[in-house]
């Protein structure tokens, strides 16, 4: 039977939502609903139809990253999904090839989260960025004060903290006020929580975005100016019966302030260079893979984006 690839229309949106819900059963349903209401239409969704229903889809979102002294638009792929009864028939390969053909004509890089590197490597993706995970016991914060920590901040204050933090890195998303306005909306879903550090002189200069999952407090994003502000925010969210799992970039050496926390490395972002000839001409280099492309940056990478 013929399978058609097309761009999702408004009429397809409900079916794509149900497809994602079936493909990602652990995803918070409130967040999924929020994503389709607020963010889905900002990207492009390719899908396949068979038997009068949507059987697979892939979403392509555009973002702008810092790359050296330049700002570069990139494509981010997500929502890679196929209905269980239609898997292992080559549908996703066909859809992925169509998506990469689209992004290759419009973007220098295509990003995808490193859920399954072996699945995406055949398409030219390479893991260029990993997170370091530190498990911190609450007793390691016993002597730390949570002075100057609060639970609220405005979008402009969060953006200010991000801009101050991110100057030490490269490869990061160029975030704007709208990004943090959406983040505050997302926090209202109660899946994630936030604590901020408000310096008496400089104002908000740090925040943590975290979730409580069973016996762990999982810090998904840590923005801070120094070890004191980080430790105080961690103290503010700590609980005696729960450990804190914090995700940071490869170059953030939290073992210096938490010597008992042994870091574990986990791949986070894969990248495909869509046109090596153009890249090498643009940057006057001779790179042969995505890892080499990102190694030309003089500052460490920082990527914590999920869509």
Domains by residue range for the chain, with CATH: 4-130+268-295 (3.40.630.30), 132-266 (3.40.630.30)
Partners of 58 in beta bridges: 46
Helix/strand/coil (H, E, C) string of 133-161?
EEEECHHHHCCCCCCCEECCCCHHHHHHH
pLDDT at 179 over 80: yes
Instruction: Give backbone dihedrals phi and psi of 72, rounded to 5 degrees, phi first.
Output: -125, 130
Structure-token pair, residue 274 = 């869509």
Of 145, 163, 239, which is closest to residue 202 (Cα–Cα)? 163
pLDDT at 28: 83
Q: Compute the mean pLDDT over every residue in the chain, rounded to the nearest whole number.
A: 95
Report the alpha-carbon angle 161-110-187, nearest 5: 35
**Residue 1 — pLDDT band, cuts 50, 70, 90?**
low
**Residue 30 — pLDDT band, cuts 50, 70, 90?**
confident
**pTM for this entry:** 0.93
pLDDT at 29: 86
Partners of 249 in beta bridges: 131
Of 88, 27, 106, 120, which is closest to residue 307 (Cα–Cα)? 27
Q: Which helix (H) or strand (E) holds 163?
A: helix 155-166
**Residue 49 — pLDDT band, cuts 50, 70, 90?**
very high
pLDDT at 27: 83
Reported in sequence order, the residue ranges of the chain that DSSP labels E, i.e. its strands, are: 4-7, 44-50, 53-67, 70-82, 109-113, 126-136, 149-150, 193-199, 203-213, 216-223, 243-249, 264-273
> What percentage of the chain exceeds 70 in pLDDT?
99
Under 8 Å between Cβ of 26 and 62: no
Q: What does the alpha-carbon distance between residue 200 and residue 58 come to, in Å, rounded to a whole number?
A: 46
Q: What does the alpha-carbon distance between residue 76 and residue 43 come to, in Å, rounded to a whole number?
A: 9
Cβ-based neighbour number of residue 267 at 10 Å: 16
Q: What does the alpha-carbon distance between residue 195 and residue 128 come to, in Å, rounded to a whole number?
A: 30
pLDDT at 2: 62
pLDDT at 88: 87
Burial class (CB in 10 A: 0-12, 13-18, 19+), 137: middle
């Amino acid at each position: 039977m013929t399978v058609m690839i097309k761009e999702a229309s408004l009429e397809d949106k409900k079916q794509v939502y149900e497809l994602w819900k079936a493909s990602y059963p652990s995803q918070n349903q409130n967040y999924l609903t929020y994503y389709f209401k607020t963010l889905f239409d900002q990207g492009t969704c390719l899908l396949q139809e068979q038997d009068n229903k949507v059987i697979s889809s892939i979403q392509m979102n555009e973002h702008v990253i810092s790359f050296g002294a330049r700002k570069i638009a990139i494509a981010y792929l997500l929502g890679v999904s196929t209905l269980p009864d239609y898997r292992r028939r080559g549908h996703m390969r066909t859809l992925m090839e169509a998506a990469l053909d689209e992004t290759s004509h419009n973007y220098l890089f295509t990003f995808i989260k490193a859920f399954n590197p072996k699945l995406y490597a055949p398409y030219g993706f390479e893991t260029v960025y990993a997170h370091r995970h530190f498990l911190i016991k609450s007793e390691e914060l016993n002597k730390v004060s949570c002075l100057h920590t609060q639970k609220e901040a405005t979008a402009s204050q969060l953006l200010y903290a991000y801009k101050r933090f991110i100057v030490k890195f490269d490869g990061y998303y160029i975030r704007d006020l709208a990004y943090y306005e959406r983040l505050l909306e997302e926090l209202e879903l109660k899946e994630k929580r936030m604590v901020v550090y408000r310096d008496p002189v400089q104002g908000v200069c740090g925040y943590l975005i975290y979730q409580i999952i069973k016996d762990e407090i999982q810090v998904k994003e840590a923005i801070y100016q120094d070890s004191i502000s980080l430790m105080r925010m961690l103290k503010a969210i700590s609980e005696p019966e729960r450990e804190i799992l914090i995700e940071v970039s490869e170059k953030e050496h939290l073992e210096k302030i938490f010597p008992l926390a042994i870091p574990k490395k986990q791949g986070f972002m894969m990248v495909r260079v869509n046109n090596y000839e153009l890249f090498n001409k643009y940057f006057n280099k001779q790179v042969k893979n995505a890892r080499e492309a990102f190694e030309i940056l003089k500052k460490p990478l920082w990527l914590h984006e999920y869509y």
